[in-house]
Amino acid sequence: MAEGRTAIVRRLQPVRLRRDAARRTKDRVPPPQAPPLSNARIAVVALLVAETMFFSGLIGAYLIFRLGTAVWPPPNLPHLPLAVTWLNTVALMASGLTMLGALRAARRGDGRGLQRGLAVTAVLGLTFLVVQGSEWVRLVHHGLTLSAGTYGATFYTLIGTHAAHVLGAVVWLGLVWHWARRGEIAGSFGALEACTVYWLFVCALWLVLFALVYQ
């Protein structure tokens, strides 16, 4: 009788083990997954919201001065250089395209393409800054200074703030390029994506400012 019970227990044991194993699998705590939205992306969105509102305030002030004045620009002050600024705009838009190309290269796993794209973007951004700086020097020589009424004040405040942002973006770009050279970007595109979004924001913002201030 006892031998019979033992045999039944032995025969049932694998079934019980299988059932326990299945229960353990069902009740198993799932492994921790990465959040759907990374902290870097949320931080970039918050930064862009703050930047947009900051520039909205500046544009609001500019609208009051420009639309509230009968003659703009004032007769005794020089007109802004349109042709050179058009070329500069093309350079900045091209830098946006090369930045997107760098991001695509990183997603393909093309490290050299990534570095090349970042370097070209940085050179185009620096070109934009240098050309704008040289135009500012010419404007100052022609009498358009920061203290030359609301025209000069609003122009240098708006365009200068944007130039400071481009400079910051170029520094950021240099950091990302440095990380790309050391191979620290492979597999994790958070820094690169954040830099790309910020660069595109700066490019899009320039289109708005160019249409508003230079036309």
Interface positions with another protein (CB under 8 A): 33, 36-37, 41-42, 45, 48-49, 52-53, 56-57, 59-61, 63-70
Of 41 and 116, the one with the shorter C-beta distance to another protein is 41
Give the dihedral of Cα atoms 120, 126, 128, 134; nearest 10 deg: -150
Judge contact between 93 and 175, C-beta under 8 A. no
Tokens matching residue 131: 């050309």
Of 49 and 186, the one with the shorter C-beta distance to another protein is 49
CB under 8 A, 24+ apart: contacts of 143-150? 143/76, 143/77, 143/78, 144/77, 144/78, 148/77, 149/74, 149/77, 150/65, 150/69
CB of 56 vs another protein, minimal distance in Å = 4
Judge contact between 43 and 194, C-beta under 8 A. yes
Of 4 and 35, the one with the shorter C-beta distance to another protein is 35
CB of 94 vs another protein, minimal distance in Å = 25
CB of 54 vs another protein, minimal distance in Å = 11
Residue 81 DSSP symbol? -
* CA 205/CA 93 separation, integer angstroms: 11
CB of 188 vs another protein, minimal distance in Å = 14
Of 59 and 185, the one with the shorter C-beta distance to another protein is 59
CB of 36 vs another protein, minimal distance in Å = 5
Of 2 and 53, the one with the shorter C-beta distance to another protein is 53
CB of 25 vs another protein, minimal distance in Å = 10
Tokens matching residue 168: 């910051």
Judge contact between 65 and 154, C-beta under 8 A. yes
Of 90 and 212, the one with the shorter C-beta distance to another protein is 212
Residue 146 DSSP symbol? T
